[in-house]
Amino acid sequence: MNALQKRIIELKTERKAIILGHNYQRKEVQEISDFLGDSYGLSVQASKTDARTIVFCGVDFMAESAKILNSEKMVLHPNLKAKCPMAAMVDVKALKDLKAEHPGAPVVSYVNTSADVKAESDICCTSANAVKIVQSLPDKKVIFVPDTNLGLYVQRFVKEKEIVLWPGYCPTHVNIRKTDLQKLKKLHPAAEILVHPECTPDVIDLADFAFSTEGIIKHIVSSPKMEFIIGTESNMLHRLRKEARGKTLYEVPNATCPNMREISLEDVRDSLQKLQFKIELPADILRKARVPLERMLEAGR
């Protein structure tokens, strides 16, 4: 641990804070996080913590979700430039218009959405539980925002429902290309290909499995296979290599999320020192956005 990381740990203790870090954070930020996880895992940690302050190292919507689930606590987002472009692809006015076009259809929103969009949603989901959540709804038609690729993946398993898709996508996951996976497979024929449900359908068709980040970790650790081609955000490889020692992991090119890399150790230190940047949301948005998030957590139990 370097001097800056040690200073952060001291400040964290002084502030009685907890640091939640997403799997796609820089390696050095992952190292000072109390919990590492995907959006769902970190939402669970945020809902359980008794720390007074939460420093959220992830993109904007994740820090908002932590605030929604802990409205009485101080939630700090160390760098406001860390924003998810996919979450920005939905706007509330257009979502209200789509709801009017499909009256009665519940809105399932991927957690990668703003607090305003969650406030217009019936239930949230992550890539780990999207199929289960959509299956659990009694309705024949659902609106799914914002990730078209995740919605198409869900449709593979939920044939009996009509899923109304939103034209959103994750720029990092659509950069994971079938041709790059094929080249890696040619070089390493014994390797299994693991990707995320947010990848494009042709990539999912080629892969051996599509899992959430936690699902990928579990699979690699428990599998008798020794080699894997990993179609995920490249910073995730740091955690995977730590948890799956002895296994060989091959990384796909061009799969770094620049938004997740915005947060530096200096930002985390300043955040704890100056108590910046506090997430503040209007009371009605906090109240309404809490409902779909809590329904997701309830369904995940």
Binding of residue 109 to ligand SF4 (CB under 6 A): no
Tell me the chain's radius of gyration from C-alpha atoms: 19
Residues written for the chain: 301
- Residues 218 and 214: their CA atoms lie apart, in Å, by 6
Which of 17, 84 has the CB closer to ligand SF4? 84
Q: Which two tokens stand for residue 201?
A: 């359908």
Q: Which of 38, 64, 233, 267 binds ligand SF4 (CB under 6 A)?
A: 233
Among 8, 19, 84, 107, binds ligand SF4 (CB under 6 A): 84
**Spatial CA neighbour of 73 closest among 51, 57, 93, 91:** 51
- Which amino acid is residue 186, in one-letter code? K
Helix, strand or coil for residue 43?
Answer: helix
Nearer to ligand SF4, 25 or 49 (CB): 25
Q: How far apart are CA 211 and CA 217, in angstroms?
A: 9
State the nearest-atom distance from the C-beta of 15 to ligand SF4, in Å: 26
As given in the structure block, the two tokens for residue 163 are 């899923």
Q: Could you say which of 260, 265, 272, 296 contacts ligand SF4 (CB under 6 A)?
A: 260
Looking at residue 249, what DSSP letter applies? E
Would you give the binding string for ligand SF4 spanning residues 201-220, x where CB under 6 A is met?
Answer: --------------------
**Residue 112 is a binding residue for ligand SF4 (CB under 6 A):** yes
- CA–CA dist 59, 81 (Å, integer): 8
| CB 87 to ligand SF4: min, Å | 7
State which of residues 26, 85, 188, 276 lies at the interface with ligand SF4 (CB under 6 A). Answer: 85
Distance CA 82, CA 223 (A): 34
Binding-site size, ligand SF4 (CB under 6 A): 14
Q: Rounded to whole angstroms, how far apart are CA atoms 86 and 172?
A: 10
Closest to ligand SF4 by CB, 17 or 86: 86
**Part in contact with ligand SF4 (CB under 6 A); list of ranges 68-76, 83-91, 189-197, 222-230:** 83-91
Token duo for residue 271: 């955040």
CB 235, CB 261: distance < 8 Å: yes
Shortest distance, CB of residue 104 to ligand SF4, whole angstroms? 29
**Run of H or E residues at 57:** strand 53-57
Q: 123: helix, coil or strand?
A: strand
- Interface region with ligand SF4, contact rule CB under 6 A, candidates 27-35, 64-72, 199-207, 252-260: 252-260
Looking only at residues 14 through 73 of this chain, which bind ligand SF4 when binding is defined by CB under 6 A? 24, 59
Q: Is 259 in the site for ligand SF4 (CB under 6 A)?
A: yes
255 touches ligand SF4 (CB under 6 A): no
257 touches ligand SF4 (CB under 6 A):
yes
CB of 148 to ligand SF4, least distance (A): 13
Q: What angle in degrees, to the nearest 10, is found between the helix axes of 60-69 and 283-299?
A: 90
Q: Which residues, including other chains, have CB under 8 Å from residue 158's CB and lie 6 or more apart?
A: 131, 134, 135
- Here's the x/- map for ligand SF4, 150-189, by CB under 6 A: it reads as --------------------xxxx----------------
Give the residues lining the site for ligand SF4 (CB under 6 A): 24, 59, 84-86, 112, 170-173, 233, 257, 259-260
